[in-house]
Amino acid sequence: MNKEQVRNRIGEIGIIPSIRVSSAADAVFAAEAVAGSGIPIVEVTMTVPGAIQVIGELTRSNPSLVVGAGTLFDVETADRCLDAGAKFLTTTGLNLEIVAFALKEETVVFPGALTPSEIIMAWKAGADFVKVFPCSAVGGAHYIKTLKSPLPHVHLIASGGVNQQTAAHFIHAGATAVGIGHDLIQPDAIKRREVGWIRELASRYVQMVREARGQE
């Protein structure tokens, strides 16, 4: 899958599940549960033990799954993630070195940013999307709506505070996609290996995004 296809898939689905768990086995379980529920995208954060190996395992066993690397801090780690099969790179804050690296490698990238200045800087640097984080701390969906007024051309991903009560509001406000962590991948569901629980939540989020976009 090339860069354009990955970018289109993220825009089409509109949901990026972020896997931030305490073991590699938990991460693989969570990713495979999500993949079987209509969300063929996962972000494996570098806080997961053995995260790069998890990316490699997931890309080998699930070729149709778009696996990305999150919470990246340096180009060296980003490079290792690409070698393992990552299809997109994302950071918590604005890291222009990783944006430049992703452009060179023809890889989808969405750095984290919060202020209008950071968002504009990220977009002008060549980001495919800009992850607004932590969104809930600065007004949630209202903040996204405020940003989209002067920046209608910037593709924003709302992250931080996205849950079943707020997901549709972020899409209505103009977010291209939403990043969801433990509100989709529940710790208890991971602990109990409850595939059905995760898939039920995933199906709900898929439906919310579709309805918010007026697709159904």
* Euclidean distance between CA atoms 53 and 73, whole angstroms: 17
- Residue of 114, 100, 107, 61 whose CA lies nearest to 81: 107
Radius of gyration (C-alpha) of the chain in whole angstroms = 16
With tokens 């918590």, the residue in question is 92
* Euclidean distance between CA atoms 146 and 157, whole angstroms: 14
129 CB-near residues (< 8 Å, 6+ apart): 7, 10, 108, 110, 155, 156, 157, 176, 177
* Given 105, 131, 145, 211, the catalytic residue: 131
Active site residue 76: no
* Given 43, 57, 76, 211, the catalytic residue: 43
Peptide linkage before 134 cis (omega within 30 of 0): yes
Active site residue 104: no
Which amino acids are annotated catalytic? 43, 131
